[in-house]
Structure 1
């Protein structure tokens, strides 16, 4: 029959389209701060390598290094891969061996080194002898990363100066909207937003189906069956017999 050969919207195809639209609506990507400084993305973080005059290393105290990050924290290293990233990128900024300040301090309550961001130091790459007793005052103990070896050394926050400063911040999440431009936000999409997106897609699909149905009705010679017009016994072997029975019962 001709109506069977006409293209109709597929339920499975519409389901796939719904999933794709929701995924596009809720997809997220990260961006680094746009404050005019050079930020290097890596993983889920962004890094700013502070440098002075070209081909010249400058020395910074720990307090000065913190102030150069301008509201952000000094770099925290949570894995061997992140440690290697700092080592490999440093020659792009500085020439020669560099000692980079790390955002770590001595926590008197736990009596251990901790990151300023609040994380415990689950990863560490201490140089040999770092666990031996030293003349450093615990509350004045900081940490520097040597780019020549990749190892960490405990140094004085007060008396020492280092020539490398790296600032770190988390990437800013960007929600990619299907029906509009990108909207910056630091939080993940809420349940209410998810429901709103799904409802919007369902409405669009319903309107598209109605438009398709009306277009098929207006096409010359098109036959569009509805559930009220369809009779599974029409033209069957029992159709004529039932008609005769009805005729005999009529007076």
Structure 2
């Protein structure tokens, strides 16, 4: 009986959070045009609505910041991910160290649907092409990096995605992936101030 009550509460929260997240993203999308190739993309179409209803909620508190994973029903480009984070009053997240990396990896794995091989998410970090080092969105060098095997490519693609296997057995093929902005990921991790300090 307790599990049925919990399920009902979860469904209610997901529905209300999804509607709130879509409405706030609609407002942002009116201010920022997201382009993919030569066409403007509406990230609020039915397939790209927020699937797990977690916009506006902290999944992880780390270093005085709130980190929220938002998974889309359809994969999203980097530009679409930026709009989703702005709609959630945040920005694309950075990874601030090994402990933080492991926390985010566990979060992404926990949100992987049963039967799915893994999940991927956009982050706000970039790669310096000449040094192949990772930069945080504020321009500082990342203190920790964990690349998926055979990454970064040569030459490296400029943006960072993060792939996680659902079973955690194949450690070589988990971690940072260098990506083009037009490539897609399953979701995005957004970083923001903690809600009670805004």
What range describes the TM-score normalised by the shorter chain of this pair?
Answer: 0.5 to 0.7
> Among residues 83, 94, 105, which one is paired with 1:87 in the alignment?
105
**Which of 81, 91, 100 in structure 1 is aligned with 2:121?**
100
The TM-score with structure 1 as length reference comes to: 0.45
Q: 1:142 aligns with which of 153, 156, 159?
A: 159
The yes-or-no answer on 1:37 pairing with 2:37 is no
User: Helix, strand or coil: the match of 1:163?
Assistant: strand
How far, CA to CA, are the matches of 2:181 and 2:189 in structure 1?
16
* Structure richer in strand, relative to its length: 2
Which runs of 5 or more residues in structure 1 are unaligned? 1-34, 175-183, 186-251
**Which consecutive unaligned segments of at least 5 residues does structure 2 have?**
1-23, 25-54, 166-170
Give the whole-Å Cα distance in 2 for the aligned partners of 1:132 and 1:61.
Answer: 19
Q: Is the 8 A contact 1:51 1:94 kept in 2?
A: no
Counterparts in 2 of 1:192-203, with a 5 A limit?
none
Say whether residues 1:165 and 2:188 are aligned partners.
yes
Larger radius of gyration: 1
Matched, 1:122 2:140: no
Q: Check conservation: 1:77, 1:83, Cα contact below 8 A.
A: yes
Q: Does 1:51 align with 2:67?
A: no
Cα-Cα RMSD = 2.9
Q: Distance in 2 between matches of 1:100 and 1:151?
A: 10
Change (3 A) 1:152 1:118: same
Distance 1:119 1:89 in 2: 25
